[in-house]
Amino acid sequence: MKFKLGDFVRFVEEKREGFITRIIDEQTIGVTGEDDFEIPVLASKVTSVHGREAAAAAKAQEAIAEIPPQEFTAKGIYLAAVPEKQVTSVVQFYFINNTSYTLLASFNTEKNQEFKGEFTGIVAPKTSVKVYSAALPDISIWPKFIFQILYHSTQKAEFLDPLVYSERFKAKDFAGSKTTVHVLNQLGWQFQLDAAEVKVDAQKLKESFFKSPEEKKVVEKPAKEIDLHIEKLREDYQFLSSSDIIKTQLERFQKTLDAAIVHQLPSVVFIHGVGNGILRHEIHKVVSKHPQVKTFMDARKEKFGYGATEVFLK
């Protein structure tokens, strides 16, 4: 089948057009028009409407200006899921290279031990490429995503080992609010592929089990709502740099989350404010992957707006 989710098609035998919102089987697709009704139709009875993606690509190409010399960026590889504007139940996945490296990327999916190559190619610095389409309601049957990435640069840059990233997405990964996606500047969900892994010091962990009761710290039970505004955490906040502020806020967030898990709280609310969205994004990034987090969402919009997140624990 030549069609994929998100393609814009026109019916051959009647005056109707719309977006493909479901791949039913090898011969049949679901097409949703302006009336928001999905119609099952044989793939042979529709034809692609060309020009839309080509025009968008041409416009993007025109927008690419020569990047002036700047500080080399080593981190910043993302997978972003962006909802279709016309059919929000369909998300388009983009591989985003926000680094200064040129990347050779291979993307495969795996389902029931069967692998399928979805994309392979060279991705230039500060660019993106669409690699996959999927229907959000079908997230429970999505395949596993597997990326293999090689780094290349003509500049004097650090030599990095190949990156392998695999993920089987769950509904909770899309429970948080959308953020502005790097490079694309569109709203969506983005997942960093080259984020630093949390390393566990096995020796220190082992030693902690053998500490005497006097040596072990008592973990205080946290409040239901935790205000992470810097003025609530440090009296000398006026003298802190932006990086020190976000570091202090994230340390209090992590400490509180750990305490909430220890005391088996059902949930805890983190008040992070709206601001530039960095703190909110970092919190959502941590809880979306945390094994002890059931889900999370904006907390009491009537009180906090988008300035607080409630984290529900297992």
Indicate whether 38 and 77 sit together in one domain.
no
Indicate whether 85 and 186 sit together in one domain.
yes
Read off the amino acid at residue 143.
Answer: P
CATH code of residue 10: 2.30.30.140
CATH code of residue 177: 2.60.40.1600
Query: Is residue 130 a part of any domain in this protein?
Result: yes
> Three-state SS across the chain?
CCCCCCCEEEECCCCCEEEEEEECCCCEEEEECCCCCEEEEEHHHEEECCCHHHHHHHHHHHHCCCCCCCCCCCCCEEEEEEECCCCCCEEEEEEEECCCCEEEEEEEEEECCEEEEEEEEEECCCEEEEEEEEEHHHHHHCCEEEEEEEEECCCCCCCCCCEEEEECCCHHHHCCCCEECCCCCCEEEEEECCCCCCCCCHHHHHHHHCCCCCCCCCCCCCCCEEECCHHHHCCCHHHCCHHHHHHHHHHHHHHHHHHHHHCCCCEEEEECCCCCCHHHHHHHHHHHHCCCEEEEEECCHHHHCCCEEEEEEC
Give the integer Cα–Cα distance in Å for 86 and 177: 19
Indicate whether 186 and 295 sit together in one domain.
no
Indicate whether 86 and 128 sit together in one domain.
yes
Indicate whether 250 and 272 sit together in one domain.
yes
Query: Is residue 104 a part of any domain in this protein?
Result: yes
Query: Is residue 164 a part of any domain in this protein?
Result: yes
Residue that finishes a domain, picked among 192, 226, 248: 192
Indicate whether 8 and 104 sit together in one domain.
no
Indicate whether 225 and 305 sit together in one domain.
yes
CATH code of residue 253: 3.30.1370.110
Indicate whether 187 and 289 sit together in one domain.
no
Query: Is residue 200 a part of any domain in this protein?
Result: no
When divided into structural domains, the chain yields a total of 3
- Per-residue confidence in pLDDT tens, the chain, 314 aa: 578 777 888 888 888 888 888 888 888 888 887 776 778 888 888 888 865 555 544 544 444 444 445 688 999 999 999 998 888 889 999 999 999 999 999 999 999 999 999 999 999 999 999 999 999 889 989 999 999 999 999 888 888 999 999 999 988 888 778 899 999 999 999 999 998 665 556 666 566 666 555 555 677 899 999 999 999 998 888 888 888 899 999 999 999 999 999 899 999 999 988 877 889 888 988 988 888 998 988 887 777 777 899 999 98
Give the integer Cα–Cα distance in Å for 310 and 256: 13
Give the integer Cα–Cα distance in Å for 241 and 247: 10
Query: Is residue 24 a part of any domain in this protein?
Result: yes
Structure tokens of 88?
Answer: 């929000």
Residue that finishes a domain, picked among 32, 63, 94: 63
Indicate whether 90 and 127 sit together in one domain.
yes
Indicate whether 225 and 284 sit together in one domain.
yes
Residue that finishes a domain, picked among 18, 33, 63: 63
Indicate whether 53 and 78 sit together in one domain.
no
Structure tokens of 27?
Answer: 């011969």
Read off the amino acid at residue 44.
Answer: S
185: left (phi over 0), alpha (psi -120 to 50) or beta: left
Give the integer Cα–Cα distance in Å for 303 and 23: 42
Structure tokens of 8?
Answer: 């814009």
End-to-end CA distance of the chain: 42
Indicate whether 38 and 87 sit together in one domain.
no
Q: Domain range for residue 124?
A: 72-192
Query: Is residue 40 a part of any domain in this protein?
Result: yes
Query: Is residue 34 a part of any domain in this protein?
Result: yes
Query: Is residue 240 a part of any domain in this protein?
Result: yes
